[in-house]
Amino acid sequence: MAQSSNFSNINTRLPSPLFSSARRTLPCPLPFVSSFLNYRALPLTVPQSFVLRQVANSRSYGAVGPIRATAGSSGSQIKESIETEINENPVVVYSKTWCPYCQQAKGLFEDLGVKPYVVELDELGAAERHVQNALEGLTGQSTVPNVFIGGKHIGGCSDTMELHQNGELIPLLSAAGVKVE
């Protein structure tokens, strides 16, 4: 007798609304999960300790920047606000609290004893989309983290890590007037 796979005819064993073609994303409070899963499942719940740890971590990297623009601001006002933040702070990281790449980049700066000016885009409410669009217009980069050192756009996490591995990050930070431990 041939054994059948546990996954054969899965569509007949599960309720059809889970596999409707109109529903392809995972409804959950963690946007990064739904972006790379392409099936419909039950909503995920996030332990309160995870949420609190994420918020606490986002606050531990130095100044967390309240963006000066609001959702009703024009694109030029938001762009001007971003440029001001970049020029007034030697290290600026545009981040999202839930993003593992953002946490890795901020963690590298923390390990170096550098306290960047951090703007958590997902804490901006309705302005998040406008600020991220303005950042993409300025840098050509639509992802986070978006790292600036000495007023110069560095790139994302992999760019920052590569600079560090090549021994170029610390001199760049020093040139921007940042003391590295």
- pLDDT for 73 equals 58
**Local confidence band at 111 (pLDDT 50, 70, 90 cut-offs):** very high
Are residues 132 and 67 in contact, defined by beta-carbon separation less than 8 angstroms?
A: no
Q: Which two tokens stand for residue 157?
A: 């996490």
Is the pLDDT at 20 greater than 70, yes or no? no
Contacts of 171 (CB under 8 A, 6+ apart): none
Please name the residue that has the structure tokens 């762009």. 79
- pLDDT for 76 equals 84
- pLDDT for 116 equals 96
Which among 161, 26, 179 is positioned nearest to 102, based on CA atoms? 161
**Local confidence band at 14 (pLDDT 50, 70, 90 cut-offs):** very low
Please state which of the ranges 4-8, 35-39, 108-112, 132-136 shows the lowest mean pLDDT: 35-39
Is the pLDDT at 155 greater than 50, yes or no? yes
pLDDT, tens digit, 9 for 90 and up, residues 52-99: 333 334 444 444 444 444 445 567 889 999 999 999 999 999 999 999
**List of E strands, 82-136:** 91-95, 117-120
For residues 58, 67, 129, 95, the Cα torsion angle rounded to the nearest 10 degrees is -30
Is the pLDDT at 114 greater than 60, yes or no? yes
For residue 149, give the 3-state DSSP assignment: strand
**Local confidence band at 173 (pLDDT 50, 70, 90 cut-offs):** very high
Mean pLDDT of the chain: 74
CATH number corresponding to 61-175? 3.40.30.10
**List of E strands, the chain:** 91-95, 117-120, 146-149, 152-155
DSSP 121: G
- pLDDT for 43 equals 41
Is the pLDDT at 47 greater than 80, yes or no? no
- pLDDT for 181 equals 82
Are residues 10 and 4 in contact, defined by beta-carbon separation less than 8 angstroms?
A: no
Which among 149, 145, 143 is positioned nearest to 168, based on CA atoms? 149
Higher pLDDT, 161 or 17: 161
Q: Which two tokens stand for residue 151?
A: 């007023």
